[in-house]
Amino acid sequence: MASFSLPQHCLANTDHPPGSSADNIVAHFAVNYHNEAARLGINLDELYAALVADGDLNPPEWNTEGRQVNVYK
């Protein structure tokens, strides 16, 4: 996976909520396919914990691996 850096003014933009762009896809799966999750080997408790962590915990290198969360708290 290629990594890239956004300009500092984009990273500090507080118009965007914390989390990653994949959160909505993961949440959509949990809501619409929760009955198939166990058969696919997906633990919904772990999935939910990952979504919460993605929105609440600052990644160590937020400027290249996600969004800076602590500016929203």
Pairwise pLDDT comparison (31 vs 64), residue with the higher score: 31
Decide if 67 is inside a domain.
Answer: yes
pLDDT of residue 32: 93
Please tell me the distance from the alpha carbon of residue 71 to that of residue 42, in angstroms, as a whole number.
32
3-state DSSP assignment of residue 65: helix
Pairwise pLDDT comparison (71 vs 25), residue with the higher score: 25
pTM for the whole structure: 0.61
Decide if 63 is inside a domain.
Answer: yes
Counted domains in the chain: 1
Residue 2 banded pLDDT, cuts 50, 70, 90? very low
Decide if 24 is inside a domain.
Answer: no
Decide if 35 is inside a domain.
Answer: yes
Decide if 47 is inside a domain.
Answer: yes
Residue 41 banded pLDDT, cuts 50, 70, 90? very high
pLDDT of 17 strictly over 60: no
Question: What domain range is 37 assigned to?
Answer: 29-73
Decide if 22 is inside a domain.
Answer: no
Decide if 14 is inside a domain.
Answer: no
Decide if 21 is inside a domain.
Answer: no
